[in-house]
Amino acid sequence: MQQAEKRASRIIGELLARPDQLALEMGAGGELLVARVRAVGGAIALLLPLLALLGGSTVQEVMIGLVAAVVINIVAQVWLALARNARRHPWLPHATSVWDVTATSGVLVALALYDPVAGVSSLVVWCFYVIAIVLTALRHDGRLTLYIGGLAMIQYALIGWAVFAFTPDPLLVSVDYGTASLDAQVQRVVLLLIVTLVTATIVYRMQRLVEMSGRDGLTGLPNRAWLLQSMPRIFDAVRTAGGSLTLALLDLDQFRRINEEVGHQGGDRAIRQVAAELERMLGENEHLARIGGQEFVMLLASPVGSAWERLDRMRRTLAENPFMGGRGTDPQQLTFSAGLASWPQDGAATSQLLRTADRRLQQAKQGGRNRVVARDG
């Protein structure tokens, strides 16, 4: 019982925590997908008033539906335009999700003003609450799912309360819309709670999968997938702050020899030691990723000249701390060669920076290893 409580507490804590950066990057893509779905849904919604008219609805009902559909379409196009560059608008998922829920509530309020029973019995409109909650899963943010689910429950409960508060009868009857009961409204709120919990569970599982896909299993460092997903955001942040960015591609020298001396398990320990040493020497807003067997990428918030000086100090520090492979083996000196590329001077895209850094890394290898090259020679 205690283990189940601890697990539930941990899951809730992780859902309420800020998602992994890779999850947020994927969430930005999810926001664009949601915006496209919203735009298509808005266009389809324009047909609903016509279908309602053909089905015998009154002119007032049709007008309410038409006005709502037009407003929803206009706003949907605005959200779509903003979602095309969602990384620059971190507030967008919350704003659009709140709009989706509140617009649904607005339509129900308009129907309730026309006929109270219509406001609490329209299953078609109520389903848009469910859609809004489920679509939060594409944003990869558990906080958003729980918030939007709670908002939908509160708004719908308030609408139901407002409709039933002024009548002593728990059953409302309408010639056009049939009956509406207080029990049915409670059931719908409970259903929204269930949808929220199920969606939050899906988000939790997706977050764990994304986190695993963006992390190196041996060192716990970010991996190549994280690097490629995160670089556009990092470029934007450096551009906005007016700072500097240098990408360094590092490769451990003669690592095959270390594997032969201490075995592959010893080699794994050596890689973890290198990762820990290099990560310890990073500053704020700087990153280290492992992108291959003995290859690392370091992102330094420095101009290329300062980055060269820092990386050369790291190279010397690492060489001064040999790896102790275990009994019966000699201490192994760990060194690396590195090539640097400055953004945006050496390339505006990640692929260009990696190509330039790799070319300079090869120059360092050909020049005798255990050195850092910042310029083409």
E strands along the chain, which residues? 171-174, 178-181, 245-252, 287-290, 295-300, 336-343, 372-373
pLDDT at 141: 83
| Same domain flag for 249 and 207 | no
Domain boundary among 213, 242, 268: 213
d(CA 39, CA 308): 49
| Same domain flag for 191 and 242 | no
- Residue 290: which domain range? 224-373
Host H or E run for residue 105 = helix 92-114
110: in domain: yes
Assigned token pair, 61 = 């009902």
In this predicted model, what pLDDT tens digit does every residue of 112-156 receive, in sequence order?
A: 887 788 778 888 889 999 999 999 988 878 889 999 999 999 999
pLDDT at 338: 94
| Same domain flag for 100 and 207 | yes
CA end-to-end distance (rounded Å), the chain: 66
Low-confidence ranges of the chain (pLDDT < 70): 1-28, 56-57, 167-171, 173-178, 325-329
Angle at 191 between CA 177 and CA 170, to 5 degrees: 45
**How many distinct structural domains can be found in the chain?**
2
- Residue whose entry in the numeric block shows the structure tokens 């095309």: 84
Under a CB-based contact definition with an 8 Å cutoff, are residues 51 and 65 in contact?
A: no
pTM value is 0.65
Give start and end residues of each alpha helix (H) in 122-254: 123-135, 142-164, 182-213, 224-241
Q: How many C-beta neighbours within 10 Å does residue 57 have?
A: 17
| Same domain flag for 199 and 285 | no
d(CA 23, CA 229): 10
| Same domain flag for 228 and 364 | yes
